[in-house]
Amino acid sequence: MTTEQRTEGGLDLSWLDLYDEPTSSTPSKKGMTLADINLGRYSSEARGEGDMTFRLRGAIPRPNAQRFGPNYQSKADVWAENCLMLYEEAVQRQWSSARDIPWDTLEPLPDDIERAMCQLCTMLTEVEFIAGDVPGQWLPFVSAQDYEAGLFLMTQIMDEARHTDVFRKRALANGGGLLAQGAGLGLRTLIEARDFTEMSVLMHVQAEGFVQSMFRMGELIGKTEADKRIFRMSAQDESRHLAFGVMHLKYVLDTQPERREEIHHYLDKAEGDAAGGGSGDVTFPPVFEALCILLGGGKDKFDEGVQKFLLLRKRQVNEYLHRLEVAGLGDRRQRVGPLLRQFVDAA
Amino acid sequence: MSEAQAAASQTTVEIPQEARDRARELGWEDGLIELALETGHSLQEIWQALRAGVTGEQAKLFLSRGSRVVRPDFWWMRVPTEWGIRARPSDPQMGLTIGDIMIGTYGDVPDVWTNRSEIARGCWPNPIVEDMGYTIFEKAIVWADCVVPLYEIAIRDRWAAATDLPWNTLEPLPTDIERAICQFLTEQSERAYFESVMWGSWLPQISYGFIEMKLFISTVIFDLARHSEAFRKRALSNGGGLGLQAPTDYNRVVKEARTFPELAAVLFVQDSMLLTLFKHGDALAQNQLEQKLYSLVARDRERLMQYQVERLKHFLFKMPDRREEQNLYFNKAESRIAKEWRDPAVSEPLAILLGGGKENIEEGRRKLLALRKRQIEEYVENLRRATFERKNLNGRLLAFLEEAEKAGV
């Protein structure tokens, strides 16, 4: 077909003749989902070769299309089998930090508890800030052939914006304020990743996994209904990011098993740095101390808090290893870094 | 042999080099880590002590007393940030907004943000942190006051393509009409996706000083994702499919932007043109679903345009010496957009839709010319609202106005 511009007064209309596969998706019980339109030559299974343009999967290429710079050519580099479902779930489960948190349930807390909560929120707003930047950094490298993976990352950016905002709001809503900045908290490792899978394993699986394990202890950490709700809602979002990461890793290991040692190498580095937590590194003293105060129930119950903190670390590390096992990296258990190894349950 | 040295020769736990290096910095004598392990402390506790800056002398004293936990001094509780903030919703309908928490020093958005880390604006800085690689530190480059309310409005007005559009009302359309819709939406789906990618790719350049702007742009990224998704769904739901990919001239200019002001200026042109297009979506829509879809897209795009206008206005006010430079970017973008408007796969589907079928395409072309004229006029007006007088529109764009005049539309 021609892509020449029409002549004065003339018509081309050759674009009308491109439809050799009429497609009529029908909505399912959940409405018209990405899965419902994942049909025929438009489906993720029918992914063709990328062309470094932003031509969406299934669209007809223009012979004169310019390239936009390198992006991943192999599906395994960015794909997760659950990304269609996760995208729809993300769209359906958006929430509002302004209206879905019962801010009116906040009540004055003892000074040490309020300060500890504010310190934790200071750390979390920083962490979530980076977690929004990282997918943005990778969007141009995702081929439009793997369109839904790109869409999923866009929802993640929105989720992380909401988390950045909700923790900032919480710090400023109950007579407190922001406190001490974190000490990097391993966040640089997320920005430094030079490969999508490296980024995903470090951010989605490790860092967000550690954060998720912490959020799921929100009933213990939060002292008001508002606090507990914040952790619950955020955990719901983190679950999606984590699910993407686990399934991406699984896809890589299933289709490119030769990358196993390379992935171990990324984890060796990350687990060797500090406590190996990336954004889930809760061992920075202000964060560690704040968590111990919150978990223990006050500064005077710090020792009790330390014990619960150690349980949290145990939970973080074992859930992390379990997720890696689900993804097909069960041998990580034998190779986990020394700072994490002490928390590993016997197999 | 000291107690520490003796312990060092016996321990079997692998001690990370990083912990040893930190211990050395703090003056821990060799073997003290092993001694701590020997006396029942976990590596985690030792690491905690190292991160807290416990000196070798303190560690030794602590171990000699047989204590279990290093008693912290909670220095972070005493940092001199602004304390006692109790933000409350100013509008109960909207809830606790980011506008409501812009109080005291937390509401100060500095003209120049100097911290190179990911520090949250208003918290107490750590004196030694790594540079996180941000490149945008000037408020004038990215800021518009409207981002504060627009962020919450975007969240309030969210919609879902899967469930908020009446998919069951779709009915078969004449082939030429259906294919025109599919071609139009193939192009628009790609444009929306690409624009989302571009905004996203600039996020890591912007520092936390302008967090409210980044939050708003995140909603834009999400909006555009949904637009792309909804357009694709519509193209694949009524007997059609995807057509020819979008032309690449305009998008390449977006991709080639070297700075944020250039990116914003180039996108300004398309954002304005597409807003006008979707505001007139009723003229293109063939059914209830498309009417609703285009109106929702237009509503989302109104917010983006508001940001674009206010950002440019603020930028020009703060950096008047960069006013003339903007003409270069507008000119480039206008040229590429106008070139793409001449592409048959861009113009003919619109003409068919506006005319009501292939047989009425001449009438449709006339209507399209009127729409192009309106797009250009509203674009010029949007620039004017941003205090920018575009005296010499690009010739390719101007040609549409001349044709419209000649055709009497």
**3-state helix vs strand vs coil in chain B, percent to 5:** 65, 0, 30
| Closest Cβ opposite residue B167 in set A32, A188, A273 | A32
Contact state of A69 with B252 under an 8 Å Cβ cutoff: no
List, as one string, the DSSP characters of B299-366: HHHHHHHHHHHHHHHHHHHH-GGGHHHHHHHHHHHHHHHHHHHTSHHHHHHHHHHHHTSGGGHHHHHH
* Residues of A whose CB is below 8 A from B226: 91
Q: Name the least confident of A69-78, A211-220, B101-110.
A: A211-220
Backbone angles phi, psi at B85, to 5 degrees: -85, 125
| Conformation bin of residue B53: beta by default, left when phi > 0, alpha when psi is -120 to 50 | left
Q: What is the pLDDT of residues A222-266, one digit of tens each?
A: 999 999 999 999 999 999 999 999 999 999 999 999 999 999 999
Q: How far is CA A249 from the centre of its chain?
A: 13
CATH architecture under which domain B139-407 falls: Orthogonal Bundle (1.10)
Would you state the pLDDT for residue A48?
85
Q: Which tokens is B180 given?
A: 């025109």
Amino acid (one-letter) located at B65? R
- How distant, in Å, are the alpha carbons of A121, A253, A286, B129 from that of B361? 60, 53, 69, 63
Contacts of B249 in chain A (CB under 8 A): 66
Amino acid at B233: K
Buried b (16+ CB within 10 A) or exposed e, B304-321: bbbbbbbbbbbbbeeeee
Which residue of B43, B165, B348 is in closest CB contact with A11? B348
- Angle at the Cα of B97 from the Cα atoms of B96 and B103, rounded to 5 degrees: 95
- A69 exposure class (CB count in 10 Å sphere: 0-12, 13-18, 19+): exposed
> Beta partners for B240?
A23
CB pairs under 8 A between A and B: 389
Q: Kindly state the average pLDDT of the residues A6-20.
A: 81
Question: Residue A7 pLDDT more than 50?
Answer: no
Find, in chain B, the residue whose alpha carbon is nearest to that of A105.
B88
The 8 Å CB, 24+ separation contacts for B390-399 are B390/B327, B390/B330, B392/B327, B392/B331, B393/B334, B394/B330, B394/B331, B394/B334, B394/B335, B394/B338, B395/B335, B396/B334, B396/B335, B396/B338, B396/B339, B397/B334, B397/B335, B397/B337, B397/B338, B399/B338
Report the percent of chain A where pLDDT is more than 90: 82
Please give the pLDDT value at position A4: 47
Nearest to B47 among A30, A179, A275 (CB): A275
Q: For residue B294, give both structure tokens.
A: 């285009």
| Interface pTM, i.e. ipTM | 0.96
Chain B nearest CA to A142, separation (Å): 9
For residue B296, which of B269, B280, B278 has the smallest C-alpha distance? B278
- Chain A residues whose CB is inside 8 A of the B74 CB are 112, 289, 299
Q: Output A19 or A225, whichever has higher pLDDT.
A: A225
Per-residue pLDDT, A184:
60
More confident residue, B322 or A3: B322
Given a cut of 90, whether residue A49 has pLDDT beyond it is: no
**Measured between alpha carbons, how far is A277 from A268 in angstroms, rounded to an integer?**
12
Is A299 a residue whose pLDDT tops 50?
yes
Nearest by CB to residue A158, choosing from B42, B182, B221, is: B221
Distance from CA of B29 to the nearest CA of A (A): 21
Question: What pLDDT is stored for residue B66 in this prediction?
Answer: 64
What residue ranges do the domains of chain B occupy?
3-72, 139-407
**Minimal Cα distance from A107: which residue of B?**
B86
Bridge partners, B206 (sequence order): B136
Q: Check A32 against B348: CB less than 8 A apart.
A: no
Instruction: Reply yes or no on whether the pLDDT at A113 is more than 90.
Output: yes
Return d(Cα B96, Cα B94) in angstroms, integer: 7
* Mutation target vs B (from A339, A340, A343, A344; most B CBs, 10 A cutoff): A339
Q: Rounded to whole angstroms, how far apart are CA atoms A8 and A228? A: 66
From chain B, the residues in CB contact with A290 under 8 A are 76
pLDDT of residue A276: 47
Facing A272 at nearest CB: one of B16, B97, B204:
B16
Here the tokens at position B209 are 């000083």
Q: Which chain B residue is nearest to residue A28, measuring alpha carbons?
A: B162
Supply the DSSP symbol for A204.
Answer: I
pLDDT given for residue A1 in this prediction:
44
Taking only Cα atoms into account, the Rg of chain A, rounded to an integer number of angstroms, comes to: 23
Q: According to the model, what pLDDT value does residue A3 have?
A: 46
Q: Which residues of chain B have pLDDT under 70?
A: 1-12, 66-71
Decide if domain A75-341 falls under CATH 3.40.50.620: no
Q: Which tens digit of pLDDT belongs to each residue from B303-360? A: 999 999 999 999 999 999 999 999 999 999 999 999 999 999 999 999 999 999 999 9
pLDDT of A127: 92
Report CB contact under 8 Å: A183, B68. Answer: no
d(CA A86, CA A155): 9
For A121, the token pair is 């929120």
Contact list, B103 vs chain A (CB under 8 Å): 172
Of B88, B155, B241, which has the smallest distance from its Cβ to A22's Cβ? B241
- Cβ distance A31 to B167 less than 8 Å, yes or no, reads yes
Closest-CA distance of chain B to residue A62, Å = 6
pLDDT value of position A279: 45
